[in-house]
Structure 1
């Protein structure tokens, strides 16, 4: 159980048998009255974000989340299949849990799957991934000196801005947190 002072960003909690993660937590100590925490909590199952205020006399059940390295195998309709790198067990996750990560997730990629016991809750991509550009406009000669960028479609279908000198079939490194081009490989 967690008390008011234990609440922080990234903490996984259970309210009314639903698992949430705290996205934003602000501790408020008014001049009059008792302290409270104003939070934004994200429901793990569908990603809905709710505003919730916790008073100083409330306790919250925390969830012990274990990280497992797993390899993304394939997609079957709305289900994604992952294989544990240590035990070789296969786990499924519904697409609603990983929709934000799909834009940088390719088959064979190793990710961190956050689990509550044997129940997968969410995935965490590595900070940087290497992807191949499938389609981009050719840069015009002389444009690379002035800088600038153009749009490029990656092998996962995501579109990112890249410098003008980057061509089709080029492998690039992308920051998964911001969705931005980092470097050419």
Structure 2
């Protein structure tokens, strides 16, 4: 399926220069002069190479449709991750490299979607948001306003995020997995 270059989103698999690439990070830029473009950091799914490329709104790229299956994350053993097919209960072991930086957000029992290309696992999609606990948060600096300032905090999985000043250690929050941003306080 062909999509516009500015419609690429993190996690999309695209065919580019004869290979399969996953969009890792995107940045939409609209310069004062010229057309808008999407700066895309991509990772090759076969050999792990990374590249940056600009896609203009008038460029078309082939978005690869992969077969998807529901899996459940069971456990981590070193740099190997074990998942279970939710239909057949078969287990599959994959390398942590397949998830990249998102591996920190995996939680035992988490439901994920495995994307397969010709029956071979290509990528793992995590939920867009997860709940995590703040284990360390900087103190509030007097005079900061809640609307415009954020402070650094460390989650129970070791990931650093910026949170509003009223969030303290021990608070459960919802975090956007791909943007690594605070979303809201958990219910």
TM-superposed CA distance for 1:66, in Å, is 0.9
Q: TM-score, normalised by structure 1?
A: 0.68
Q: Is residue 2:125 matched to residue 1:161?
A: no
The answer on whether the counterparts of 2:3 and 2:63 sit within 8 Å (CA) in structure 1 is: no
Q: TM-score, normalised by structure 2?
A: 0.67
| Offset from partner CA, 1:18-47 (integer Å, 9 cap, x none) | x513649xxxxxxxxxxxxxx986311353
5+ residue gaps, structure 2, are: 27-39, 54-61
5+ residue gaps, structure 1, are: 25-38, 53-60
- Alignment partner of 1:87: what SS? coil
Indicate the RMSD between aligned Cα atoms, in angstroms: 3.4
TM-superposed CA distance for 1:128, in Å, is 1.2
| Offset from partner CA, 1:56-88 (integer Å, 9 cap, x none) | xxxxx9965211121111111111111122221
| Offset from partner CA, 1:108-160 (integer Å, 9 cap, x none) | 22111111244211111211111111222343677565752221111211010
| Distance in 2 (alpha carbons) for counterparts of 1:155 and 1:78 | 19
| Distance in 2 (alpha carbons) for counterparts of 1:134 and 1:178 | 20
- Alignment partner of 1:101: what SS? helix
Q: Is residue 2:66 matched to residue 1:65?
A: yes
> Which residue does 1:111 correspond to in 2?
112
Q: 1:136 to 1:123 in 2, by over 3 A?
A: same
Mark the structure with the bigger radius of gyration: 1
